[in-house]
Structure formats: structure tokens, C-alpha cells
Amino acid sequence: MKATLQRLALPALGFASLLLVWEIAGRIAGPALFAPPSSVAVDYVGLLRQGDMLRELSSSLRQMAVGFIAACVVGMPLGAVMGRSAVADAIFRPWVSMFVVTSTAALIPLFILFLGTGLMLRVTIVFLASVWYITLTTYNGARGISPQQIAVARSFSASPLQIFWKVTLPALYPYLLTGARIGIVHAIRAMVLAEMFVIIGYGALMHRSGLSLDTGQLLGLLITLMLVSLFFNWLLGATGRWLAPWYDQQRVTA
Amino acid sequence: MISKPDPSTAGLSLGGDAAVAGGLPARGDSILSRAVRDKRLLSIASVLFVIALWQWGAGHVSGFLLPPPAEVLSRFLDPKWLSRLLGALGQSLIQLGLGFGLTLLIAVPLGVLIGRSVILTRMFEPVINAIYAIPPVAFIPFLIVWFGLFLEARVALVFLMSVFDVLVIVIAGARDVRSALVDVGRSFGASHQQRLRLIVLPALLPFFFAALRVGSARAINGMITAELFFAAVNLGAIMKRATQNFDSATVLSVVLLICVLGLIAQSGIAWLERRVLHWHVRSA
Amino acid sequence: MSTASAESMPAPHRLEAAAKLEARRITKFYQRDGSKLPVLEDFSLSVAELEFLVLLGPSGCGKSTLLRIIDGIEPCDAGQIILDGKDVTGTTGAGRGMVFQGFELFPWRTVMGNVAFGLEVAGIGSKERLEVAREYVNLVGLNGFANSYPHELSGGMQQRVGIARALAINPTILLMDEPYGALDVQTRELLQDELLNIWEKQRKTVIFVTHSIEEALYLADRIVVMSPRPGRIERVIEVPFARPRRDELKSTPQFLDLRRDIWQTLKKGAHV
């Protein structure tokens, strides 16, 4: 118990100092520029009660989920195949490299022309923003699968399918999960980006708060985004640790 | 008495060795098998194939929706338009330079400072991770309120979009410096400054380049986002106007330009990294 | 077993001069989950001038910790380190050069750069540094590799660089922490011979830590056998073999008997 308290003391101190600086700056700047945490807290309760925030959030997240899941469904097998087959790598690599350096923001006007401003646009942008990172992370994982481990399986007369399920896939878990974590960060970013460009959904709420110089509300909306992001990060991390407790997730880099 | 040199094999990345070949046996010298063996040809073939597909597709749908590749190419070949495009790019690069320069100036020293101090790391890493979790794009309404709609706001967005990535990586690198190496420094009587200069900073270089790679991509992202979300100027203005005119060829050409810009940036950094980090052995 | 200083033992081979280095009543605890584990308790040791002393013992007996305390890179909870009559407890540098088990070369520096490191820290000018570094690079037989990087060298070569680096600052006492522990047997034996060669040419006081009885017997003037938890002197052995020592010594009956003898001592004190 004491150890836990000790562990939390310093981070708590860090947060507290941030809140203090924010409070002071906010009081000086005023609510039109930078609302202090005290008024943000009050506004936040109002936001929750009013219902718009949560409603738009859930609908945006649902749409984001479609794009994100599509990105996983495409990116994970793609990355795995690219990692194990030099031919597949040569075929798909130029596209992965090209897309990963292209700003999502630049794609939005283009896809508005192709797809309009409806659901398809947002799903597509989320997909394009996250799929390459998922692919690359899975690719790194697939490349790293130790040939020795596969040799061990073969010496036990495992069939290719068994090798896939019992060696390749478990070895990939940590990378799949890290890829998902990175992917979802980009997915959330893309969702907000698209919504703010088209002024729709959650992004529209933020845009409107900005226009009306209501930084208290704006900060509240930002904090919700932060909590959502942290939540997903935690969720995927915990799933990873549950699925593959033998692997130190920290070692996986993108 | 001198043992024979035994070059460390740790330098070889897991690249080509672990990747299992596609499984196609070499069948004489046919073009197909040669392409398979020379992977670069395969990549080029893949790109050409998609362009061909694109050409075919463009023939079947309205020119507004999908401009044929030839039309996009013609944009680049038109000298007047090209000079306008490159001029806009030049202007855009100014805020990129200012914003990213600011990021490096602030995030690198700050990251080293925090990373080398256990107390500071424990205090501020959770805070930084929390702020990092907010999509930087969401700060745009703020930036409009604080900085207006012009250069300052754009530079601020470029800064905001890149600073946390660089900071997080530099902190990780500063923390990661092997204590054994620092012990060597102490063993030889090196002062704290000497240890910082002679051991921590060089050990940090690989992370610095990783931060440069990620940060520059985010900064370019910030640059173009700023030009689309604040008062549209330079490349962003070109894109917006083209979008309003349903001129997808122009929009696509700007996208390609940004893509090329990104590739050049990454290659440049990779080149620099190879030269500076020739001693670095990448572990799996 | 007695924790008394080893000076009370008969010393036919030891020089008459006063102790070069003295560790007085060193005490060190490790904290773990609130409880304090004693690593060293009231440990005292004397090393004579130009003596080759080996600290021998199983893992966890505190020998490496003691060496690091002597070097000043690890603090002790009580006790003093006296070098040439001066108290150097807790300070680093000052007359001690250390060779590390993991080599710990700076990967971004060439062999020359690594060897010159201690000189650079001491503020010696670059021309002089390079001259001295080159001298020591040649001494350890790496002339052809002066501008190579650590990752281009084998383990044995890297450790040679480590030795050159420590010698380059002309330390009063050389501290070696299981320097050959990470190497294969053949390389280790080659390097042992090389070390003895260098030591003949450049006599220094040496404290060498190892867990290999054979290595201890081959290299040492005097062996201090330690047993763990807390680290204490189990036994002190004056090594009777004349110098210069040759590889064949390792298969002589006298060597093998002594080795078996020490093994018995270690077995008694060791906890698996």
C-alpha cells in the first residue's frame, strides 16, 4: 500500500503543478482565452448534463470504429504477408511508404471530391490514416519471428497450418496489439481532423465552442478526447498483457 | 597471439535473412522470374500496374471524379503552374522550418533534462503522455483564439503537432542510456558535464534521429493542416480553390507533391543518419 | 570465519613496503522490500605494492561490489578506502583504472577514441592524448585496428581495448572486474597470457575479480577466497608458483592439487 502511494506521489505532484500553472494562467487570461481548471470543471458538468457531447462522441466513435476495424482487417494480414514474403514486400512496399508520409490532412480535400462529405469520407480517412501504421508494425513483427522457433515446430512434424496458429500468430500478438494501439491514436486524430474540416459531429462542437470563444467548453471537449484516447490505449495494453503475458510489450517499437 | 577479427554479426538487421522468399523457383531467365529475383523491378511493376489500372478507371468515370494520370502529369509539366506550385511550397516550408526548428530547440534539451532525472521523469511523464493523447488538431480552435489565422498560428500548429513526439522519444532515449556506460565515465573521474557531453549525448544520437524522422513527418502534417484550417494560403489555398472548382487533377497533384516532400525528408534524414551513426548497431 | 585483515598471514612473496591500498571495515547493504541485506560487513583487506591480488568467490559474494566501492563508482555504507595513504572513499578517478566485465566501450568512438577517453576527461591535450593512446593500442596488440569501431571487433579484442583504456591513464592500481567472464575459454586463456605479458612489462598493483579457480591460481600472487552473504574472507592463499608463468603450469599436479583444495573451500562456503 505504501509502495503504491509512493509510486503515485511524484506523478500526482506533476499533475498538481500543471493544474496550478493552468489555474494561474487561466485567471489572468480570462475565459475567452484560456479558462482555468476551476471553471472548466464547472462547464464540464454542464457538458455532461446537456448530452450533446456524449451523443456526438459516441456517434463519432462508432464511425471511427468502422474505419479502424477495416484498417486492422486489412493491415494486419497485409503486414504479416509482407513480413514473411519478399515478393509481397516488394509489391506493396512502395504504396505503404508513399501513403505513410502523406499527410492525412492533404487527403481530405481529395477524398471530399471523390466521396462527398458523408459517412464514407470519414470512414475512408480514418482507414487511410491508421492502416499503414498497423501494417508496418505487423510487418516488423512478422519479420522478427525467429526461424529457430519455426524449425523447432517443424522438427515436431507440425503442419504449415499448425505452425501458423501455434508459432507465428502467438509471436505476432504483441505486435498486433502495439499496431492497434498506434493505429487507434491515428484513427482518433483522423476522425477529429475530418470532422473539423467538414464541421460535423464532435468536431463541429469544438469548432462552435471556438467560434463563440467559450474556451471552458472547448477545454472540456478536449479533455474528453484525452480520456477516450487514454482509455483505448489502456484497454489495448491490458488486452495485450492478458493475451501474451510472456512478452515485454515495451520492447516492441514501431 | 592476436585473435582473428570476427566482425560482429549484430550489425545485420533481421531484414532479408528472416524474410522467407516468395516460394517461386527460379525458372530459367524469363522476365517474370528475373523480376521476382530483383525485387526492385517488382516494386516498379506494382506502381506501373496501379497507374495502368488508374488510367483504365479514369476512362470509365467522370473526369471530375477521377482524373486520368496523364492530366495530373500535365499539371507538373506546365511551367507556369509548376512555378506557382513550387513558390507556394517554398512559402509553406518557411512555417515548417520555423515550427519544427522551435520544436527541436525546446523538446531536445527539455527531453534530456527530464530523461536524466528520475524524479522529473516520474513527475512529468504521465502528464506529457496525457497531453499527447489529445489529437493536436483539436487545439486548432485554441490556436485561432490565441494567435489568429495567419503565420503565428500556423507555426504554432506545426510546433504543437511535432513537439510531443520528439519530447517523448528524447526522454526515452535519455533514460535509456546504459548506466554501465555512465559508470565507465564516473570510473575515469568524469564530471557531470563531461558525462553529459561525452557519454549521454552521443548515446542519445540514435534516438535523436528517430525523433527527427517521426517529428518531421508530423511537422509536415502540421504544415499542410495549418494551411487548410486557418486562413488558406500557399498549398492549402491551391487545394481549397481546386476543391471548390471540382478540379481533382490539381488537388491530386498537390497531394503527390506533399507525398514527394515527405519521401525526400525521410530519405534525407536516413542519409544523414547513415553518415552520423555509422557506428550504430541496430539491435532486433 | 575470521574477518581479520589478511596481513596476519605469513608472506614469503610479499614486498616489505606499506600497503598500497587498504579497504577498512567496508560495510554495504542492499535494500530490498524494506529489509536490508548485508553484502559486505566490516570487510577489511590490504593490497601490497605491485601485488597481483585475486578476489575469488561465487556469484553474490560481494567481490564485484567491493571492487566498485574501491573504484568509487558505488558508495559504501561504512568504511574507508585508503590508497597510497590517502582516503579516496567515494571519489572516482584518482589513481584507479577499471576494466569492466561487459567491456563497456563507447560504440561511437573508435578504438583510439576509447583508449584516449580517460585522458580526455583529465583534460590532456589532443596531440598528447593520441600519442599515449597509440602507445597503449600497440601494447595490447591492436595496431591494425586503431580506427575500427567496437562493433567491428570480437569480444576478445574489445576487452583488450578496455584494458588499454584503463592503462592509458597510468593508474596507481588496476581494478579488473571479471574481465574475461564474457568470453569463450580459448580467448580467455589467450588474454590471460597477454595480461601476464603486459603486467611483466608494465608492473602495476592489480586487484582482479573472478569466479574461476584456475584463472585465480594462474594469475595471482595472492588469492583472497570470499564467501557470500555477507561477503567475508574465507581463506587467503599465497600462490607458490614462480614467474613468469606458462600455460603448462595448469596441468601440473601441484596446480591441480591446489585447485582441488580451493574448490573444497568454495564448496563449503557457497550456497547454491
Which pLDDT belongs to residue C110? Answer: 92
Does ipTM top 0.90? no
Which pLDDT belongs to residue C9? Answer: 45
Between chains, do A210 and B137 touch, taking CB under 8 Å as contact? Answer: no
Alpha-carbon distance of B137 to A185, in angstroms, equals 12
Chain B positions touching A197 (Cβ under 8 A) are: 228-229
Q: pLDDT tens across B188-230, in order?
A: 989 989 998 999 999 989 889 989 999 999 999 999 999 888 8
Q: pLDDT tens across B148-199, in order?
A: 888 888 999 999 999 999 999 999 888 888 888 999 999 998 998 999 899 9
Which pLDDT belongs to residue B16? Answer: 31
Please state the rounded mean pLDDT for residues C63-76.
90
User: Total structural domains in chain A?
Assistant: 1
pLDDT category of residue C256 using cuts at 50, 70 and 90: very high
Query: Which residues are CB-contacts of C24 (< 8 A; sequence separation ≥ 6)?
Result: C44, C79, C80, C81, C82
pLDDT category of residue B14 using cuts at 50, 70 and 90: very low
Q: Which of C92, C108, C190 sits opposite B186 (nearest CB)?
A: C92
CB C97 within 8 A of CB C122: no
Residue type, B57: G
User: What number of other Cβ atoms are within 10 A of residue B87's Cβ?
Assistant: 11
Between chains, do B5 and C154 touch, taking CB under 8 Å as contact? Answer: yes
Residue type, C30: Y
Alpha-carbon distance of A217 to A184, in angstroms, equals 25
Between chains, do B228 and A197 touch, taking CB under 8 Å as contact? Answer: yes
Alpha-carbon distance of B247 to A43, in angstroms, equals 44
Residue in chain A closest to B259 (alpha carbons) equals: A102
Q: Which of A103, A196, A222 sits opposite B221 (nearest CB)?
A: A103
Chain C positions touching B280 (Cβ under 8 A) are: 107-108
Chain B positions touching C96 (Cβ under 8 A) are: 187
Alpha-carbon distance of C203 to C48, in angstroms, equals 13
The Cα of C192 is separated from the nearest Cα of chain B by a number of Å equal to 11
Between chains, do B3 and C153 touch, taking CB under 8 Å as contact? Answer: no
pLDDT category of residue A39 using cuts at 50, 70 and 90: confident
Which pLDDT belongs to residue B9? Answer: 25
Between chains, do C108 and B185 touch, taking CB under 8 Å as contact? Answer: no
Structural domain contains residue C76: yes
The Cα of C248 is separated from the nearest Cα of chain B by a number of Å equal to 16
Residue in chain B closest to C98 (alpha carbons) equals: B187
The Cα of B218 is separated from the nearest Cα of chain C by a number of Å equal to 29
Burial zone of C272 (CB within 10 Å; 0-12 exposed, 13-18 middle, 19+ buried): exposed
Please state the rounded mean pLDDT for residues A27-53.
82
The Cα of B3 is separated from the nearest Cα of chain A by a number of Å equal to 29
Residue in chain C closest to B283 (alpha carbons) equals: C151
Question: Chains with 3 or more CB pairs closer than 8 angstroms to C?
Answer: B
Between chains, do B20 and A88 touch, taking CB under 8 Å as contact? Answer: no
CB C175 within 8 A of CB C98: yes
Average pLDDT, chain A: 84
CB C159 within 8 A of CB C128: no
Structural domain contains residue A15: no
Q: A113-146: buried (b, 16+ CB within 10 Å) or exposed (e) per residue?
A: bbbeeeeebbbbbbbbbbbbbbbbbbbbbbbebe
Name all contacts of C256-265 with Cβ < 8 Å and 24+ positions apart.
Answer: C258/C217, C259/C213, C259/C214, C259/C217, C262/C56, C262/C213, C262/C216, C262/C217, C262/C223, C262/C225, C262/C235, C262/C237, C263/C213, C265/C225, C265/C234, C265/C235
pLDDT category of residue A161 using cuts at 50, 70 and 90: confident
Does residue C228 surpass a pLDDT of 90? no
Structural domain contains residue C103: no
Does residue B245 surpass a pLDDT of 50? yes
Please state the rounded mean pLDDT for residues C241-261.
90
Q: Which of B127, B251, B259 sits opposite A113 (nearest CB)?
A: B251
Higher pLDDT, B166 or C227: B166
Structural domain contains residue C174: no
Between chains, do A206 and B263 touch, taking CB under 8 Å as contact? Answer: no
Alpha-carbon distance of B36 to B41, in angstroms, equals 8
The Cα of B1 is separated from the nearest Cα of chain A by a number of Å equal to 35
pLDDT category of residue B17 using cuts at 50, 70 and 90: very low
Q: Which of A99, A105, A225 sits opposite B134 (nearest CB)?
A: A225
Average pLDDT, chain B: 80
Between chains, do C150 and B279 touch, taking CB under 8 Å as contact? Answer: yes
Please state the rounded mean pLDDT for residues B20-32.
45
Helix axes A215-243, A169-198, angle to 10 degrees: 170
Does residue C175 surpass a pLDDT of 90? yes
Looking at the complex, does the CB of residue C184 fall below 8 Å from at least one CB of chain B? no
Which pLDDT belongs to residue C147? Answer: 92
Higher pLDDT, A248 or B66: B66
Higher pLDDT, B3 or B135: B135
Closest CA to A185 of B116, B214, B6: B214
Between chains, do B127 and A18 touch, taking CB under 8 Å as contact? Answer: yes
Interface size between A and B, measured as CB pairs under 8 A: 183
Structural domain contains residue C42: yes
Chain B positions touching C190 (Cβ under 8 A) are: 1, 3
pLDDT category of residue C173 using cuts at 50, 70 and 90: very high
Q: Report the CATH superfamily, name and number, of domain B70-276.
A: MetI-like (1.10.3720.10)
Q: Which of B46, B127, B246 sits opposite A15 (nearest CB)?
A: B127
Between chains, do C121 and B194 touch, taking CB under 8 Å as contact? Answer: yes
User: Total structural domains in chain C?
Assistant: 1
- Report pTM: 0.79
Pull the grid cell for residue B276: 552520423
Structural domain contains residue A24: no
The Cα of A147 is separated from the nearest Cα of chain B by a number of Å equal to 7
Query: Which residues are CB-contacts of C254 (< 8 A; sequence separation ≥ 6)?
Result: C240, C241
Domain boundaries, chain B: 70-276
Which pLDDT belongs to residue B26? Answer: 40
Which pLDDT belongs to residue A248? Answer: 56
Matching residue, cell 597481483: C52
Matching residue, cell 584516449: C116
Structural domain contains residue C129: no
Alpha-carbon distance of B63 to A107, in angstroms, equals 18
Segments forming the whole domain that contains residue A200: 38-251
What CATH number is attached to the domain comprising A140? 1.10.3720.10
User: What number of other Cβ atoms are within 10 A of residue B70's Cβ?
Assistant: 10
Which pLDDT belongs to residue C69? Answer: 92
CB B265 within 8 A of CB A101: yes
Chain B positions touching A229 (Cβ under 8 A) are: 133-135
CB C110 within 8 A of CB C149: yes
The Cα of C148 is separated from the nearest Cα of chain B by a number of Å equal to 9
**Least confident piece of the model among A189-198, A232-241, C7-16:** C7-16
Residue type, A234: W
Which pLDDT belongs to residue C232? Answer: 84
Query: Which residues are CB-contacts of C17 (< 8 A; sequence separation ≥ 6)?
Result: C48, C49
Segments forming the whole domain that contains residue C242: 1-85+207-272
Q: pLDDT tens across B124-148, in order?
A: 888 888 888 888 888 888 888 888 8
Which pLDDT belongs to residue C142? Answer: 93
pLDDT category of residue C146 using cuts at 50, 70 and 90: very high
**Least confident piece of the model among A147-156, B162-171, B189-198, C228-237:** A147-156
